[in-house]
Amino acid sequence: MTRHHHIFIAAPASGGIGAQMARSLSGAQKALAQAGYGPAVLGAHREGQIHLDTTLIGDAAAGLFHFFARAGERAECFAEALGGPVGRLVLHLPCYDAYYPMLWRHLAERRALKPFEGAVEQLAGRGRGWLEVVAELKTALDPREIVLLPAPALAEEALAALVPGARVIARSIRQERQSDTAIAMMQRLHRSKIRIRPKQMERLARFHEGLPQGAPIAEFDPLTASRLRRRFQQDLRRLVAMDRVRIGADPALAVAAQ
């Protein structure tokens, strides 16, 4: 009997669901085996059956600057490394109006960036989105089934979609989010090419958390955000119209986008 590989993709810089899934599955190998599954691994390994990946479609920079333009190419390499057919492909999909600011904030902690407000028009008008990414993954990986989990999605739902029938407990993690004043401070350091030690950066970030917070450092205006949410819903409707694609962990409870 052919063994199928099952893959969970957490969108880069989209919160802690990827780390939560990794923690939940790392201590659940016995439960997976009891349910008839092979080992859970990070990335593509022929010895594994359950695969978790946050970079299969690209990293945070690839998401912000060209919305994972090489997703199909990367997925082809991933498929070659697996060396076997793909069963379930589970994807966590954040909405555009929230996701672009998340990507910007993630990168802003690590490198100098132009202000988010200067990129709003380009990001809002970008033609490429989840519709194209999922279509490319479908072609490259040829899974038997694609399950989409629009954010906010719980780890329990992701586990039910990825390893149905396995008694895996969703483990919580501590998720830290830098304040806007801390990110603004980091940007000043990056632009000045000043490097400080991690411990000192942690102390500075804690200090800035206690300062008054002004307007969000990365955010779309209400009209643009509404337009991006509508586009996300339109993309979901087109995605669920594809063969072998559905929304939600349980087919009996799956509801198409309104």
Between CA 156 and CA 250 the distance in angstroms is 12
| Nearest partner of 84 among 160, 142, 18, judged by Cα | 142
Q: Is a pLDDT exceeding 80 seen at residue 249?
A: no
What is the chain's mean pLDDT, rounded?
88
Residue 51 to residue 89: CA distance in whole angstroms: 10
Range in 6-10, 22-26, 181-185 with the lowest mean pLDDT: 181-185
Per-residue pLDDT of 72-83, as tens digits, reads 999 999 999 998
Does the bond joining 212 to the residue before it have cis omega, within 30 degrees of 0?
no
User: pLDDT digit string (tens) for 76-119?
Assistant: 999 999 989 999 999 999 999 999 999 999 999 888 999 999 99
Q: Is the pLDDT of residue 18 over 80?
A: yes
Residue-wise pLDDT tens digits, 45-68: 888 999 999 889 999 999 999 999
What is the tens place of the pLDDT at every residue in 158-172? 999 999 999 998 888
Report d(CA 97, CA 123) in Å as an integer: 10
Q: Which tokens go with 231?
A: 């586009």
Confidence of residue 255 (pLDDT cuts 50, 70, 90): very low
Question: What ranges make up the beta strands (E) of the chain?
Answer: 5-10, 40-42, 50-53, 86-93, 145-150, 245-247
The closest of 151, 164, 168 to 251, measured between CA atoms, is 164
The predicted model scores a pTM of 0.88
